[in-house]
Amino acid sequence: MSQRSLVVRALWFVVVGWWATPLVVNVAWLLNATIIGLPLGIKLINLVPTVLSLKEPRSLTDPESAPGQRSLLVRAVYFVFVGWWFSWLWANVAAFFAVTIVGLPIAFWMFNRLPVVTSLYRFDG
């Protein structure tokens, strides 16, 4: 599947992405606070670029096998020691930038990198 057009992605952001992204991030954080909800919370964090602007991952068939992905063990250890707290900080700073016109490009850049900051998951392969 190819990327959607810039116009469609911009319209999505204006109508849905700007309010749905913080909602998805906060639901993911609530799920991440529980052992049972953790897998779904991580999946939601990995979907933030798509929720924000309909950005598609490069590898839709099996994103885990995309070139450049770290092993699940390395990503899990990183998440436990760094990702869970640093990605919360990262997402809130991005949300702050998103409410300013000048900071909007920085917010997009930060939200698109949230999967990497959370669990070293490379959304773009």
Separation CA 53–CA 21 (nearest Å): 9
pLDDT of residue 78: 95
pLDDT of residue 57: 77
Q: Is the pLDDT of residue 32 over 60?
A: yes
Contact 91, 115 (CB under 8 A): no
Separation CA 122–CA 23 (nearest Å): 22
Show Cβ contacts of residue 104 under 8 Å, excluding neighbours closer than 6 positions. Answer: 97, 98
Separation CA 11–CA 17 (nearest Å): 9
pLDDT of residue 27: 93
DSSP string, 20-84: HHHHHHHHHHHHHTSTTTHHHHHHHHHTHHHHHH-PPPS-SS-GGGSTTPPPHHHHHHHIIIIIH
Separation CA 4–CA 8 (nearest Å): 6
pLDDT of residue 31: 93
Percentage above 70 pLDDT, the chain: 89
pLDDT of residue 109: 94
pTM above 0.85, yes or no: no
pLDDT of residue 67: 64
Q: For the segment 35-82, what is each residue's pLDDT rounded down to a tens digit? A: 899 899 989 988 988 999 998 876 554 555 556 788 889 998 999 899
pLDDT of residue 95: 86
Q: Identify which has the larger pLDDT, 72 or 123.
A: 72
